[in-house]
C-alpha cells in the first residue's frame, strides 16, 4: 500500500484575517505555518503533499512556498474555484446574487480527489498542529485500516483567540470513537468562562477541556463517494445562498450518523496555535521562535 498523503487546505482568503494568511511569514526564514506542517509530516511517514489553492495566487504560492521547500518530496497542486464541481444551474444562480467565494472546506477536499489514491490526512494551512499529531496520524493511516477514519482533537481552551470569536467543531467522543460533531460559531472566552453565542442570541457555556476539531482528519480514499453524496445534498439545499459553506466536520458527523465510516479519536497531546486574526501573527512568530530555539526545528527550515 502507498504511504499516506497530506492534504493542505490553502485556498481560503481569510476574511477575518484580511489577507493570504496561508503564506504570511511566521518563521525567521520567512516560513509560513504550512511549512512546519509539511516538515513534520514528511518526518512522520507521509509520502506526498497535496496543496489546495486558487489560481489567482498560484504563482505567488509556487515562488514563496514551493520554491522555498525545494523538490525533495512528491507534491501536487489542486485548485478550488467557485465553479469547480458545481452544477451549472446552481453556479449561474449563485453568480446572479453576487456570490464569489467557493463552498467551504469539504468543497476544497473534493477538488483534490484526483490526486488522492492512498489513506490521507487533511489539515488547515494556517494552523500549527505539532509533530506529535502527524506522528500519531501517520501511524494510524499507514496501518491501512480502510474501514475507519480518524481525528486528532484539541482542548477548546487552548484553541481560542484573544482577538475575537472563533468557530470550532465541538466533538462528542466515547470509547475512543467520535460519536458526533457540532459546528459552533461565535465561541469566545468571557472572564473565566467560555461561551458560544447561537444565532438566536442565547449563550451556551462550554467546558475548557471540550474536545474540538481543528481540521486534523484522516480518511481512507474510499470515503469520496459518500462525501460527494453529502456535498450534492448540501448544494441542493444551500447552494443558491450567498454565503453558505460545506464544512468537513459536519460531513464527518454525517458519515458517522449514517454509518458510512467509523472515526477514531487519536490522542496526540500536541500543541496547537494558529492565525485566525492578523493580530495573532505576532504570538505565532514568538512561539515558533521558542520552538526553533529549543531545537525542534532548524532555521532556515529548508536549508
pTM of the model: 0.94
Residue 289 lies in a domain: yes
Pairing of strands 262-265, 148-151: parallel
The cell numbers describing 222, all together, are: 474510499
Residue 228 lies in a domain: yes
| CA angle centred on 194, ends 13 and 198, rounded to 5° | 65
Residue 64 lies in a domain: yes
- Which helix H or strand E contains 224, and what residues bound it? helix 224-238
Point out the residues of the chain with pLDDT beneath 70: 1, 13-22
Residue 146 lies in a domain: yes
Residue 298 lies in a domain: no
Residue 285 lies in a domain: yes
User: Tell me, what's the pLDDT at 130?
Assistant: 95
Distance (Å, whole) CA 275 – CA 248: 19
User: Tell me, what's the pLDDT at 22?
Assistant: 63
User: Tell me, what's the pLDDT at 16?
Assistant: 40
CATH of the domain at 123: 3.90.550.10
Distances (CA, A) of 220 to 8, 48, 137, 216, 263: 16, 15, 12, 14, 11
Residue 236 lies in a domain: yes
Residue 166 lies in a domain: yes
Distance (Å, whole) CA 143 – CA 297: 27
Q: At what angle do helices 33-42 and 131-142 cross, to 10 degrees?
A: 40
How does pLDDT run across 193-240, given as a tens digit for each residue?
A: 999 998 888 899 999 999 999 999 999 999 999 999 999 999 999 999
Count of structural domains within the chain = 1
Domain housing 147: 5-293
Amino acid at each position: 500500500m502507498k504511504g499516506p498523503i497530506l492534504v493542505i487546505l490553502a485556498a481560503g482568503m481569510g476574511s477575518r484575517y484580511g489577507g493570504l494568511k496561508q503564506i504570511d511569514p511566521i518563521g525567521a526564514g520567512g516560513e509560513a505555518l504550512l511549512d512546519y506542517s509539511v516538515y513534520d509530516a514528511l518526518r512522520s511517514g507521509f509520502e506526498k503533499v497535496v496543496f489546495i489553492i486558487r489560481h489567482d495566487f498560484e504563482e505567488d504560492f509556487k515562488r514563496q512556498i514551493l520554491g522555498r521547500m525545494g523538490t525533495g518530496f512528491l507534491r501536487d497542486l489542486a485548485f478550488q474555484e467557485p465553479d469547480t464541481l458545481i452544477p451549472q444551474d446552481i453556479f449561474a444562480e449563485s453568480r446572479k446574487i453576487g456570490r464569489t467565494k467557493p463552498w467551504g472546506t469539504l468543497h476544497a477536499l473534493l477538488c483534490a480527489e484526483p490526486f488522492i489514491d492512498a489513506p490521507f490526512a487533511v489539515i488547515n494551512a494556517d494552523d500549527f498542529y505539532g509533530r506529535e499529531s502527524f506522528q500519531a496520524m501517520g501511524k494510524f493511516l499507514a496501518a491501512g485500516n480502510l474501514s475507519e477514519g480518524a481525528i486528532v482533537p484539541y482542548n477548546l481552551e487552548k484553541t481560542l483567540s484573544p482577538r475575537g470569536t472563533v468557530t470550532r467543531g465541538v466533538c462528542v467522543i466515547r470509547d475512543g470513537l467520535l460519536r458526533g460533531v457540532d459546528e459552533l460559531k461565535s465561541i469566545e472566552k468571557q472572564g473565566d468562562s467560555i461561551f458560544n453565542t447561537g444565532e438566536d442570541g442565547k449563550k451556551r457555556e462550554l467546558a475548557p477541556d471540550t474536545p474540538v476539531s481543528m481540521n486534523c482528519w484522516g480518511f481512507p480514499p474510499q470515503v469520496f463517494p459518500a462525501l460527494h453524496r453529502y456535498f450534492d445534498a448540501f448544494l441542493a439545499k444551500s447552494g443558491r445562498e450567498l454565503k453558505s459553506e460545506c464544512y468537513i466536520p459536519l460531513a464527518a458527523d454525517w458519515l458517522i450518523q449514517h454509518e458510512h465510516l467509523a472515526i477514531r479519536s487519536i490522542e496526540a497531546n500536541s500543541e496547537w496555535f494558529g492565525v485566525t486574526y492578523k493580530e495573532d501573527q505576532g504570538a505565532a512568530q514568538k512561539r515558533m521562535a521558542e520552538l526553533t530555539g529549543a531545537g525542534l526545528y532548524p532555521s532556515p527550515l529548508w536549508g
